[in-house]
C-alpha cells in the first residue's frame, strides 16, 4: 500500500522540542512561535517551562503540550516521578514522556523498571505516556526487554531516546522495537532524524511519531514541500518486513 504525506501531515507526526539543559526562555518562546506556524502534534519542553509554553499556546487548540518526566537519566525515585507527572497533568500537559531508570534497566532490575513505568502511567490519569528507553546504552536484547516492559506497563509509545546522547534513533532500532511490540503500542523515533529520507524509512519500519529538536524540522518540511505536488509517496512497509 502506498502512503502519501504532505509537509502538513508530517508536522502532525512531530513532537517539536526544546529540551536541552541550556535552552533558555528565548528558545521556549521560539518553540511556541514555530508551533503556531507548522502545527506539530506536540510542543514539548522541560518541566519548569511548561507553564510558559502552555500560556503562549493557550489559544492554539491543535497543538498538544508535552511534559517530560525524569529527564535525562530517569534515575530519580519513583515517588518523585509520580509527583512530577501529577504536577504536569495538573498544569495542563496533554502527553507525558518519561525516562525509564536506565541504570536499573542496565542492571537487570526489570521488576523495578516495570513498577517505574506503571507508576507514571497511573499518575498520568489516562494521558498518553511515551517511555524513553535510551537505545544508545542498550544491547539488542536489552532493547527487546525494555520494549516488552513498555507494553506490560501500559505505555502508549516506546521512545528511542532523549536526544541527549551521541546516537539518535536508528533504522535498526525502529525495526527491532517493532518486531517486539507489533501494533500493541506506538513507536516514537527521537534524535538523529536529519532529513526526509530518514523519516520516511523510519515510518516504513513502524515509527509514527518523530521527536525533532527545534530547527531540525526545517530541512525535512522544506524537502517535502519541494517534491512534485508537495507530496512524498512511498510503500507503507520496508522490503522484507
Pairing of strands 2-6, 231-235: antiparallel
Torsion sign (Cα): 197, 202, 207, 213: negative
Active site residue 225: no
Query: Does the active-site annotation cover 178?
Result: no
Nearest to 75 by CA among 98, 55, 97: 98
Question: What are the contacts of 206-210 at 24+ separation with CB within 8 A?
Answer: 206/174, 206/175, 206/177, 206/178, 207/169, 207/174, 208/13, 209/13, 209/14, 209/15, 209/41, 209/130, 209/157, 209/159, 210/10, 210/13, 210/14, 210/15
65 with 93: CB under 8 angstroms? yes
Block residue for cell numbers 509554553: 53
Residue in the block written with cell 520516511 = 200
- Retrieve residue 189's grid coordinates: 523515533
DSSP classification of residue 228: G
Name beta bridge partners: 172: none
The one catalytic residue in 94, 97, 101, 116 is: 97
- As a whole number of angstroms, the distance between CA 199 and CA 203 comes to 6
Is 104 known to be catalytic? no
Q: How many Å apart are CA 111 and CA 72, to the nearest integer?
A: 21
- Say which of 54, 81, 130, 159 is annotated catalytic: 159
Q: How far apart are CA 207 and CA 201, in angstroms?
A: 9
| Residues designated catalytic | 97, 159, 188
Amino acid at each position: 500500500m502506498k502512503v502519501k504525506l504532505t509537509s502538513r501531515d508530517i508536522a502532525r507526526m512531530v513532537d517539536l522540542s526544546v529540551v536541552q539543559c541550556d535552552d533558555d526562555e528565548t528558545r521556549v518562546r521560539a518553540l511556541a512561535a514555530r508551533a503556531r506556524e507548522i502545527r506539530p502534534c506536540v510542543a514539548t519542553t522541560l518541566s519548569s517551562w511548561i507553564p510558559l509554553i502552555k500560556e503562549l499556546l493557550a489559544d492554539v487548540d491543535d497543538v498538544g503540550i508535552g511534559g517530560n518526566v525524569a529527564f535525562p537519566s530517569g534515575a530519580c525515585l519513583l515517588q518523585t516521578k509520580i509527583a512530577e507527572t501529577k504536577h504536569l497533568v495538573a498544569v495542563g500537559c496533554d502527553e507525558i514522556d518519561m525516562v525509564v531508570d536506565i541504570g536499573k534497566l542496565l542492571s537487570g532490575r526489570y521488576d523495578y523498571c516495570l513498577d517505574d513505568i506503571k507508576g507514571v502511567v497511573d499518575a498520568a490519569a489516562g494521558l498518553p505516556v511515551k517511555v524513553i528507553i535510551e537505545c544508545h546504552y542498550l544491547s539488542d536484547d536489552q532493547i527487546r526487554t525494555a520494549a516488552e516492559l513498555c507494553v506490560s506497563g501500559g505505555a502508549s509509545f516506546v521512545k528511542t531516546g532523549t536526544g541527549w546522547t551521541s546516537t539518535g534513533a536508528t533504522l535498526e532500532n525502529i525495526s527491532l522495537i517493532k518486531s517486539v511490540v507489533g501494533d500493541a503500542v506506538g513507536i516514537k523515533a527521537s534524535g538523529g532524524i536529519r532529513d526526509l529520507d530518514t523519516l520516511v524509512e523510519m515510518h516504513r519500519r513502524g515509527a509514527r511519531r518523530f521527536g525533532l529538536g527545534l530547527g531540525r524540522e526545517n530541512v525535512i518540511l522544506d524537502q517535502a514541500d519541494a517534491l512534485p505536488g508537495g507530496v512524498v509517496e512511498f510503500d507503507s512497509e520496508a522490503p522484507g518486513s
